[in-house]
Amino acid sequence: MTRQRNFALGLAALTLSLAACSQTPAAPAQSSDLVSFTLTAPLSAVRTQGLPLDDQGAPVINTVDVRVYDASGQPVLFNGQNVYQSGGAQQTLTLTRETPKTSVLLPRGTYTFESSGLATGGEFLAYGKTALQDITATPAVNVTLHTLAEEDAATFSSKLPASAAFTRDEFDLRLAVRSPSANNAHHSVPLSDYTVSYDVVNDQGTPDATLGELLVSSKLGARARALGTVDAQNLNVRATVRAWVATGEHTAEQMTFTKTFTLPFSATAMQADFEAPTLTLDAVNAQAGRPTQLRGTASDNASIASVRVYDGARLIGSTDDADATADTEVFPVLFDGSSWTLDYAPDAAGEHDYTVIAADPSGNERRAETTATLTSANLLPVLRPTPGFDGQVNFNVTSGSDTWYLLDLRAMNPNFWFDSHNNWGDGWGYAQRTYHATLHRNADIALPTSVNDDGWHSISYGTQNATNRLYFWHVTGTSTGNVIIEAYN
C-alpha cells in the first residue's frame, strides 16, 4: 500500500496564497483595508527540497519564523493573532511541522517576507528573503529558504590519506560544505545553496598552473594532478565557495570563503616516484552466500591512490567510486590510511583465488594473493525495489526466522531514502512488532556501522552522495507478519 509521507525534509519553500476568510479575526479599525492570506508550508511536497537532515534522515529544521517588512523597510507588527496592528507585540509569523498553515491579515500594499529556519534547539540554519511583493496583485508569494554554511565546518581534503606529492600524481579531493552546528552536528548544505570554483595556487595564494592542473571538478570536489617545478615546496589546490552565511540572529548574506588542500612535494617536484606500496591480505575464512570481510594493510612513501580486490578475474571491491556502477556488483573498500576492509558475500562454494592490488598516485602497484576454499550455503536473496512509492517489495517473516538479504539500491539517485516497516492490512502496522533488522555495510551513509529497526515503526536512512548502494540486511522474525520496504529518490 502506498502512502504520502507527511514529515518534511525541511521547510524549503513556503507559499503565501491569497484566500478569502469566512470569518475575520479581530482587526484594527481599518479592517476593511486588510487583505487575508493563508501562510502555508506544503509539507507533503517538501521531500524533494533540500534542507539538512540528521543522521537518521529526519528533518533538522522544525520551525520557520517569518518577518514581514513594508515598502519602506519597516517591520510589520501583529496583534498576537497574525492580524496587523500598529505597535503590536507580535514580530514574527511562526510555522512548524505540526502547524504548517496560518491565516494572516495585512493592509493592502507591497511587502518583503524574511524567513528563518530553526532547529529544535533554536539554532539558525536557513534563511530566505523575497523581493517586494504586491499582495493585492500577486495571488501567491513564494518564500524560499537557503541552508546556511559555516566556514569553520567546511572541509577540503584528499579522499585517501596522502603524505607527499610526486610529479604526475593524481589526487581525488573531496569538498564538504556544512551548516552551523545543531544537536551537536554539522549537516551537509544542499548543492543548490552554494557555488564553488577551484584553482592551483602557490604558497602566496597566487594562481600557478606550473604546480598542478585540475582534471575534473564539481561541487563535491576535484581531481588534481601534481606537476611542480624545481623550486616548488607545496601543491596547493584552493576551493572558493560562495554560500549563505549568517550575519545576525536571523539575517544572512551570500559570502565567499576559501578552503585549501596543501601537500608537500617529495624532495623536489621534479622527482619521479618508483617505489611501490606495501600491501598485506589476511587469510580468508568465509562461507558462500553469507557476508564476510576481507582485510589487510596498505602503505606507501607518498600515498595510496586505490585498493582493488578481485575474486579470480572479477572485481568485487574498490576504493574508486568510478568502479561501482548500476551494472556491476562492486562493493566499497574502506581505507583509513593504514588498514583496508571489504565486506561482501561470495556467491559460490569451492576454491576462490583472491587478489588485492594497491596503487599509488604515480601508478606503482603491489599485489597480494591468497586462496580460500569456501563451504556451501544458501545464496542471499536479493531485494531490489524500484524508485518511488510504487516500487515496494513485500516479504513475510515468521517467528524465529533468520535471513540475510542483499539490498540492491543502485537504481536510486545519490540522495535516496530507504524505509522498512510492517504491513498488516492498513499499510503501516505501527502497533505491530514482527521483526528486528540490522543494516550492515553502511559506509556511504552517515550512520554507525549497523542500524537497528525493531519493526514497530517506519525508519528512514538518508545519505549524501553515495556511489555504491549495495547493503547487507539481516532480518530476524519475532512473530509472523509481512514486511514492506520502499526506496525512493
pLDDT of residue 306: 92
pLDDT band at 5 (very low <50, low <70, confident <90, very high): very low
Look at residue 100 and give its three-state secondary structure: coil
Q: Is 3 domain-assigned?
A: no
The distance from CA 444 to its chain's CA centroid, rounded to whole angstroms, is 9
**Residues 142, 21 within the same domain:** yes
**Residues 287, 245 within the same domain:** no
Last residue of a domain, one of 125, 147, 169: 147
Last residue of a domain, one of 264, 291, 314: 264
Return the DSSP state at 84: B
pLDDT of residue 401: 80
pLDDT of residue 6: 34
Q: Is 462 domain-assigned?
A: yes
pLDDT of residue 25: 37
Name the β-bridge partners of 133.
Answer: 111
First to last CA, the chain: 18
**Residues 21, 142 within the same domain:** yes
Q: Is 130 domain-assigned?
A: yes
**Residues 325, 430 within the same domain:** no
Q: Is 413 domain-assigned?
A: yes
**Residues 316, 230 within the same domain:** no
**Residues 163, 130 within the same domain:** no
Residues in the chain: 489
**Residues 87, 158 within the same domain:** no
**Residues 313, 390 within the same domain:** no
Domain residues for the domain of 77 are 13-147
Q: Is 4 domain-assigned?
A: no
Average pLDDT in the 194-199 region?
96
pLDDT of residue 145: 87
Return the DSSP state at 79: -
**Residues 296, 413 within the same domain:** no
Of the candidates 90, 143, 80, the residue with the CA atom closest to the CA atom of residue 113: 143
The region of weakest confidence among 139-148, 201-210, 338-347 is: 139-148
Of the candidates 185, 186, 56, the residue with the CA atom closest to the CA atom of residue 461: 56
Of the candidates 6, 8, 53, the residue with the CA atom closest to the CA atom of residue 415: 53
Return the DSSP state at 348: S
Instruction: Tell me which of 90 and 41 has the higher pLDDT.
Output: 90
Average pLDDT in the 383-399 region?
71
Q: Is 367 domain-assigned?
A: yes
Percent of the chain with pLDDT over 70: 71
Name the β-bridge partners of 284.
Answer: none
pLDDT of residue 168: 86
**Residues 39, 58 within the same domain:** yes
Whether residue 396 is predicted with pLDDT greater than 70 in this model: the reply is yes
Q: Is 8 domain-assigned?
A: no
**Residues 425, 323 within the same domain:** no
- Rounded Cα distance between 37 and 385, Å, is 42
Location of C-alpha cell 524567513: 115
Neighbouring residues of 106: CB distance < 8 A, sequence distance ≥ 6: 34, 35, 37, 68, 76, 84, 135
CATH number at residue 405: 2.60.120.380
Whether residue 296 is predicted with pLDDT greater than 90 in this model: the reply is yes
Location of C-alpha cell 518534511: 8
**Residues 26, 141 within the same domain:** yes
Neighbouring residues of 345: CB distance < 8 A, sequence distance ≥ 6: 289, 290, 291, 292, 380, 404, 406, 472
Most trustworthy range by pLDDT among 20-24, 121-125, 385-389, 456-460: 121-125
Q: Is 345 domain-assigned?
A: yes
pLDDT of residue 402: 79
197 CB neighbour count, 10 Å cutoff: 14
Last residue of a domain, one of 326, 341, 374: 374
The tally of domains found in the chain comes to: 4
CATH number at residue 249: 2.60.40
CATH number at residue 282: 2.60.40.10
Q: Round the average pLDDT of the chain to a whole number and report it.
A: 77
- Rounded Cα distance between 375 and 287, Å, is 5
